[in-house]
Amino acid sequence: MTKAEMEAYRQRLVALRDRLNGDVSHLADEALRKNQQEASGNLSSMPIHMADIGSDNFEQEFTLNLLQNEQQVLTEIGDALDRLGQGVFGKCEECQSLIPRVRLEVLPYARLCVACARKQEEEA
How many helices and strands (H and E) does the chain possess?
A: 5, 0
| Under 8 Å between Cβ of 99 and 90 | yes
H/E stretch holding 17:
helix 3-31
Q: Which amino acid is at 25?
A: S
Do 63 and 20 lie in one domain? The reply is yes
81 within 8 A of 13, measured Cβ to Cβ? yes
Determine the structural domain holding residue 31 and report its residue range.
3-89
pLDDT classification of 57: cutoffs 50, 70, 90: confident
Q: Read off the pLDDT of residues 66-123 as tens digits, 9 standing for 90 and up.
A: 888 889 999 999 999 999 999 999 999 999 999 999 999 999 999 999 999 999 999 9
What average pLDDT does the segment 22-29 reach? Answer: 71
Give the Cα separation of 108 and 104 in Å (integer). Answer: 4
34: three-class secondary structure by DSSP: coil
pLDDT for res 65: 83
Regarding whether 84 and 43 lie in a shared domain, the answer is yes
Q: What is the CATH number of the domain that holds 61?
A: 1.20.120.910
Q: How many domains does the chain have?
A: 2
Q: Same structural domain for residues 50 and 21?
A: yes
pLDDT more than 70, % of the chain: 77
pTM tops 0.95: no
**Distance between CA atoms of 37 and 72, rounded to whole angstroms?**
30
For the beta carbon of residue 80, count every other beta carbon within 10 angstroms.
24
